[in-house]
Amino acid sequence: MKVNSGLEVHGKVAATFLASSIAIIMIGIFTYMRKQLSWLELYPPAGTFSGIWFYTYIIWIVVWIISFVILRHKESVWKFRTWLITFLASIAVSTILIEASLKWSLVFD
Partner 1 sequence: MLLHGFLFTFTLMTIAGFVGLLAFSSEQRKGALNTLKVLALITTFFVFLLNITGAYGYVYYRLPQPDSPRTIIKDTLPIAHEILFETMEYLSLIGPIWATMITSLVWHFNEKIFTNNTIRNAMLFLIILAALYALAIAYTGVVPTRIAPLR
Which residues sit at the interface with partner 1, rule CB under 8 A? Answer: 1-4, 7, 10, 12-13, 16-17, 20, 23-24, 27, 31, 45-47, 49-50, 52-53, 56-57, 60, 80, 84, 87-88, 91, 94-95, 98-99, 102-104, 106-107
* Dihedral Cα 41, 42, 45, 48, nearest 10 deg: -30
| Shortest spacing between CB 80 and partner 1, in angstroms | 6
Per the CB < 8 A criterion, the answer to whether 29 and 97 are in contact is yes
Cα of first residue to Cα of last residue in the chain, in angstroms, is: 42
- Shortest CB 106 distance to partner 1, Å: 5
Beta carbon nearer to partner 1, 4 or 36: 4
Nearer to partner 1, 4 or 38 (CB): 4
Instruction: Round to whole Å and give the CA distance between 68 and 24.
Output: 18
Q: Closest approach of Cβ 65 to partner 1, in Å? A: 13
**C-alpha distance from residue 53 to each of 21, 35, 37, 88 (Å):** 15, 15, 14, 20
